[in-house]
């Protein structure tokens, strides 16, 4: 496999896995009484718009970091994100969304599925980043999966 193909294989795999999990979440409800498909679609559309917005903003922020910020001023760091109460499919989607967003990478889900280890390229305030993930990714995700 050449270099360009190997560089693409990670994001392509993430998109394929994310798409498969989205389809599964739409068609197979994991609740005791799953909502009808037609009631989930508006929530999915909101999630896709918000995720796309975050993806664009993160790309712009990453471009600014690469162009204007000196490497020695970056604060790469691991931090824990609480995923207590999320179902396995929701965890899969959330971790892929975090990894697809430039500047952050999901590293590991704890064995008890309550914590997610995330790496950030420039982490000045882990609590602020966690709050941003909760508001812009997790809440909209739960808006269509539940």
- Number of Cβ within 10 Å of residue 93's Cβ equals 25
Q: For residue 20, give its domain range.
A: 3-145
- Residue-level pLDDT at 11: 65
- Residue-level pLDDT at 38: 72
Residue 70: pLDDT above 80? Answer: yes
Phi, psi at residue 106, to the nearest 5°?
A: -75, 130
Q: Concatenate the DSSP letters of all residues of 5-18 into one string.
A: HHHHHHHHHHHHHH
- The residues with which 106 forms a beta bridge, in sequence order, are 118
For 86, half-sphere exposure in the C-beta direction (CA atoms, 13 angstrom radius) is 29
Mean pLDDT of 53-68: 93
Distance between CA 137 and CA 114 in Å, rounded? 17
Instruction: Report which of 56, 61, 20, 132 is spatially closest to residue 118, judged by C-alpha positions.
Output: 132
- pLDDT 10s digits, 91-124: 999 999 999 999 999 999 999 999 999 999 999 9
Residue 21: pLDDT above 60? Answer: yes
Residue 35: pLDDT above 90? Answer: no
How would residue 10 be classed by pLDDT, with cut points 50, 70 and 90?
low
- Residue-level pLDDT at 1: 47
Q: Which residues contact 58 (CB under 8 A, 6 or more apart)?
A: 101, 102, 103, 104
Bridge pairing between strands 77-82 and 104-109: unpaired
Which helix (H) or strand (E) is 98 found in, with range?
A: helix 88-100
Residue 61: pLDDT above 70? Answer: yes
The mean pLDDT of the chain is 84
- Greater pLDDT, 125 or 6: 125
Total domains present in the chain = 1
Mean pLDDT of 22-27: 63
């Amino acid at each position: 496999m050449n270099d360009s193909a190997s560089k693409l294989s990670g994001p392509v795999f993430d998109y394929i896995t994310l798409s498969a999990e989205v389809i599964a979440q739409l068609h197979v409800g994991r609740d005791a009484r799953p909502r009808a498909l037609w009631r989930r679609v508006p929530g999915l559309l909101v999630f896709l718009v918000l995720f796309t917005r975050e993806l664009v903003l993160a790309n712009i922020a990453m471009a600014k970091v690469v162009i204007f910020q000196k490497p020695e001023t970056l604060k790469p760091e691991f931090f824990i994100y609480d995923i207590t109460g999320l179902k396995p499919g929701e965890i899969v989607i959330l971790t892929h969304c975090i990894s697809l967003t430039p500047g952050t990478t999901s590293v590991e889900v704890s064995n008890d599925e309550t914590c997610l280890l995330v790496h950030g390229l420039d982490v000045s305030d882990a609590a602020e980043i966690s709050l941003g993930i909760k508001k812009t990714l997790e809440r909209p995700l739960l808006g269509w999966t539940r």
